[in-house]
Chain A
């Protein structure tokens, strides 16, 4: 099939990622661990270098040229994130270290708002980072956790149960956009609308979607949204919490320190305006600059095109892996994110991953920080291939070939 004229030149884009041009254990690197972290294009690496070589200084502090430039670059990055998400204003963007810190921030500042008997609704497919912070909040407040069930290997949320679960006790509903283990894409707009109809605050874990799918918080209708720069071609150490302005205004600060204050006295202080109220201490300024470059890069390619590319690769991987004896593919048969997870009967994921690594293919094996989900599905560990814009159909073929070899090498248990 001839691609439409507007389709990106994927081979040319791949050349933007210098790290991919190497051999591992004597074989060409096939990097399929993008769910853990993505590689960085030259534009991002150059933005980091340029910042440190020309503009580095602390932000919002000194009245000198470099500080002015650094502050401008940092605040430009915030405005870029707001545009990336179609947020109402840059004040709705809080920079954090990553998805995990963003979720912990919300879980922490919700402490005074919950009472014993209240409930926090999650789903059974959450990453530990969207589970454990709520366990801690529940322990602090006496609130209970509830879970929207996941149905079968297809890994969809049981939405028939949602209205019953969203009763008057639930104050907050936190869920993932794309499952890092199953590849399921959850219907975020519908989930948010149903929660909002009952006055429940929503938080979307967009770690696996922010660099892969178009994200418009107005269309999604969420109250909070969290993601990491490093899973979307940006640097490690920078992440984002989007929050609706009125909600951020109403909440107490998270960390205390410089930057987040308006006026400090020995006994008490007043808080800076949002979003600075939530950004104590010197932030990851270079990280924000790098994230800005990553967002420019991704929008230059086109997020809708990336989503199609991801899905084409994931679908091709499922089709090619399906024929391997003893394989059990997890996740939805239809539309899915850039993740393919599977188990091979009698062969542990870590052996598969070690085998693949020796062939130059980087995969992830284990529980993917979703232990309760895998326990429910009855698999101790899975092997996961996760794709990004620079992966190719030839790499999918290589994946299938290596998994077939691994299955043969280890053989099934008698």
Chain B
């Protein structure tokens, strides 16, 4: 396959310039995620207000897939309710495990190529696992191993 199927321009661009890449000073939820096989480590910060994600950010180090995925995730989750966030993660998981793009969500669909690299699926979902742990107030570190 062509490598650009995995590393679509959305991914390369979000890796070079990750969005919402910072600490959130007024976060009321925080969770860490790590992938011991790759050495990916990131922390997701969330400010939850009335069951809605008022603000979300992340920081850490990892491969392009994990960094870009977390970056896109913060953009897609801002302003969402918890139920909406869970539904979106469900859609994202379908995209990265089955490779079926979602016509209505081109940014998430950029990760469809990941399904051809099974070892990298956990990179793509790392930030999401951490974000949902943060939202659910689970203090434990999310791990994709």
Known: A348-B64, A354-B117, A354-B120. Contact between A411 and B39, CB under 8 A?
no
A350 to B12, CA, bound (A): 14
Complex interface residues of chain A between 333 and 361 (CB less than 8 A to chain B): 346-351, 354-355, 358
Residues of A within 8 A of B15 (CB): 410, 413
Answer whether A355 and B3 are a contact pair too, CB < 8 Å, given A413-B16, A414-B16.
yes
Across the interface, do A414 and B17 meet the contact criterion of CB distance under 8 Å? yes
Q: Which residues of A contact B7 (CB under 8 A)?
A: 351, 409-410
Interface size class for chain B? 20 to 34
Distance of A350 Cα from B7 Cα, bound (Å): 12
B10-43, CB under 8 A of A: which get 1 and which 0? 0010011110000000000000000001111100
- Please pick, from B1, B3, B39, the residue contacting A381 in the complex, using a CB distance under 8 A: B39
| A346, A355, A380 interface centre (most CB from chain B within 10 Å) | A380
Cα distance, A414 to B16, chains bound together (Å):
6
Verify B62–A348 contact, CB threshold 8 A: yes
Task: Tell me which residues across on chain B come within 8 A of A355, comparing CB atoms.
Answer: 3
A410-B12, A413-B17 given as contacts; is B6 within 8 A of A348 (CB)?
Answer: no
With A358-B3, A366-B38, A381-B39 as known contacts, state yes or no: A350 contacts B63, CB within 8 Å: yes
Chain B residue with minimal CB distance to A413? B16
A367 at interface by CB-CB < 8 Å: yes
Task: Sort A-B residue pairs by CB-CB distance and give the 6 closest, nearest first.
Answer: A348-B63, A381-B39, A350-B63, A380-B39, A351-B64, A350-B38
Mark B residues whose CB is within 8 Å of A: 1, 3, 6-7, 12, 15-18, 37-41, 61-65, 67, 117, 120, 123
Known interface pairs A355-B3, A380-B39, A411-B12; 5 further A-B residue pairs with C-beta atoms within 8 A, sorted by A's residue number: A350-B63, A351-B63, A351-B64, A371-B39, A409-B12
